Amino acid sequence: MSFEVTITELKSALPEQGWTQDAEKTAPFLCEWRGRWHGDTPLLLLPTTTKDVAAAVKICARHKTPITVQGGNTGLVGGQIPRGEILLSTMGLNKIRETDANNMHMICEAGVSLHAVQAAADNMGLKFPLSLASEGSCSIGGNLATNAGGVHVVKYGTARALTFGVEAVLADGSIFDGLAALRKDNTGIDLSQTLIGAEGTLGIITAASLKLFPKPRECVRALVAVDSPDAALALLGLVRCGDRLSMFELIPRLGLAYVTEHMVGHKDPFTAPHPWYVLAEWELYKRQATKGSTSRASHIGGEDPQNFAANILAKAVDNGLVRDAVIANSQAQSNALLALRENLSAAQKPIGATIKHDISVPIAKVPQFIARANAAVLKLVKHCRPLPFGHLGDGNIHYNIGQPENISGADFTAWEPHINDLVYNIVDGLGGSISAEHGIGVLKKQQLARRANPAKLRMMRQIKSALDPDNILNPRVLL
């Protein structure tokens, strides 16, 4: 591809700091963090205003020049890495434009990191509940483009549920403004929601109006040992406690062993091993304190966090669902329990090659999915090491499979297409989704094309060609 004319026009339309062709500066934008995708671009655009994004897209539209959009570059399906297209990074769009504690909303630009959004909400005495292990690096624009999930979906929903609307530059360079922070707006098709989850194929999100929530007075976490995914599911039914359950993550023994053996500073909090674990978190809110009372329990409305968790778990203990449990009694212990979950993926690295899936099925079918998928992959590749873990509370399992010790990584990854088909056939059979959180990107395009409902695919293609007839926005992604 040669885009000489476009490049000349882009360079003169944007301020000098708004673009670069310097190989050293561009390099970090061209490689995905795990090294799975490497790309190239003739020009990296670094706009700092929506107006500059619009001006750049207008030029590209006129010349039908393709653009790849990138936020924090933490995506796991390759959509943010260019293959010769112009690369537009949103990381210069980094301002928080508006905060309103009464209306409980914040308007921030697309390149603001998720961590910065959380911190700004916290400063307002409120909470932005989206939480991912990549939150220090990922951008809010990327979170919305991928409709990110994370550990609090069980209570708050995915990124789209946390958003009033977005501002976006469309493929013709026009600006769509959906930033009004309205809790009710029935004026037709919700265009912001159409852009959310579209992985940058319909528009470049330049800002978002985000919903904020009351900040809990305290959170309490417990790591609960159980016999099986069935027991974990039954536990979920017993511990929801209205809307206070804010995390419910499944961890297999193998995963806990990897984290404690392969990563420094992590300890198994139990004295004996157990087959499965659940990391649960509940949020407690302040209630009116009893007059004159100074105890910690009255301070948080009569609920001491440890007692609260112990009481909730008591019924499950009586029902024989719980083998053992550790309830965090300090912030440090609470963080340590969360770190066991957050490091599961990284702790798998030392065992060699892994084949990963990010699937969802109806919550009640998670145990069936795990049993069937484990049996199928072990039959296909003897001694491979399945590691199903993650968001049981949302029916979303990260189904990673480690290579057997007796074959090479390359020999194992040669099985990837067969293993994918096995796993996705089981997912389809259970009425699930082949991408629960990470999106389709370039990684799962073929699987989507083969498996999606034909009417859904047709509608998606019609929307894409209506909004981007020359296919210039993320042209290799999703469809």
The reply to whether 381 sits near ligand FAD by the rule CB under 6 A is no
Looking at 33, 172, 191, 433, which residue binds ligand FAD (CB under 6 A)?
33
The reply to whether 108 sits near ligand FAD by the rule CB under 6 A is no
Looking at 60, 76, 236, 359, which residue binds ligand FAD (CB under 6 A)?
76
Looking at 69, 108, 347, 426, which residue binds ligand FAD (CB under 6 A)?
69
The reply to whether 95 sits near ligand FAD by the rule CB under 6 A is no
CA distance 339 to 343: 6
The reply to whether 208 sits near ligand FAD by the rule CB under 6 A is no
Looking at 79, 252, 388, 402, which residue binds ligand FAD (CB under 6 A)?
79
In degrees and rounded to multiples of 5, residue 231 shows phi and psi of -65, -35
Sign of CA dihedral 178, 181, 185, 190: positive
Looking at 26, 41, 90, 343, which residue binds ligand FAD (CB under 6 A)?
90
Residue number, nearest CB to ligand FAD? 142
Q: Are strands 245-252 and 67-70 parallel, antiparallel or unpaired?
A: unpaired
Looking at 75, 216, 255, 367, which residue binds ligand FAD (CB under 6 A)?
75
Token pair of 351 as six digits: 């065992």
The reply to whether 270 sits near ligand FAD by the rule CB under 6 A is no
Radius of gyration of the CA atoms of the chain, in A: 23
Q: Which residues ranging from 406 to 445 are in contact with ligand FAD (CB under 6 A)?
A: 437-438, 441
**At closest approach, how far in Å is the CB of 32 from ligand FAD?**
8
The reply to whether 82 sits near ligand FAD by the rule CB under 6 A is no
**At closest approach, how far in Å is the CB of 398 from ligand FAD?**
9
The reply to whether 325 sits near ligand FAD by the rule CB under 6 A is no
Looking at 10, 56, 196, 205, which residue binds ligand FAD (CB under 6 A)?
205
In degrees and rounded to multiples of 5, residue 188 shows phi and psi of 105, -160
The reply to whether 279 sits near ligand FAD by the rule CB under 6 A is no
Of 110 and 259, nearer to ligand FAD (C-beta) is 110
Of 141 and 252, nearer to ligand FAD (C-beta) is 141
**At closest approach, how far in Å is the CB of 343 from ligand FAD?**
9
The reply to whether 393 sits near ligand FAD by the rule CB under 6 A is no
Of 103 and 137, nearer to ligand FAD (C-beta) is 137
**At closest approach, how far in Å is the CB of 154 from ligand FAD?**
12
Select the span of 75-83, 279-287, 318-326, 368-376 touching ligand FAD (CB under 6 A): 75-83
**At closest approach, how far in Å is the CB of 376 from ligand FAD?**
25
Of 79 and 178, nearer to ligand FAD (C-beta) is 79
Q: Could you give the string, one character per residue 116-155, with x where binding to ligand FAD holds by CB under 6 A and - elsewhere?
A: ----------------xxx---xx-xxx-xx-xxx-----
The reply to whether 163 sits near ligand FAD by the rule CB under 6 A is no
The reply to whether 200 sits near ligand FAD by the rule CB under 6 A is yes
Number of residues that bind ligand FAD (CB under 6 A): 35
Length of the chain: 479
Enumerate binding residues for ligand FAD (CB under 6 A). 33, 69-76, 79-80, 90, 110, 132-134, 138-139, 141-143, 145-146, 148-150, 199-200, 204-205, 437-438, 441, 474, 477
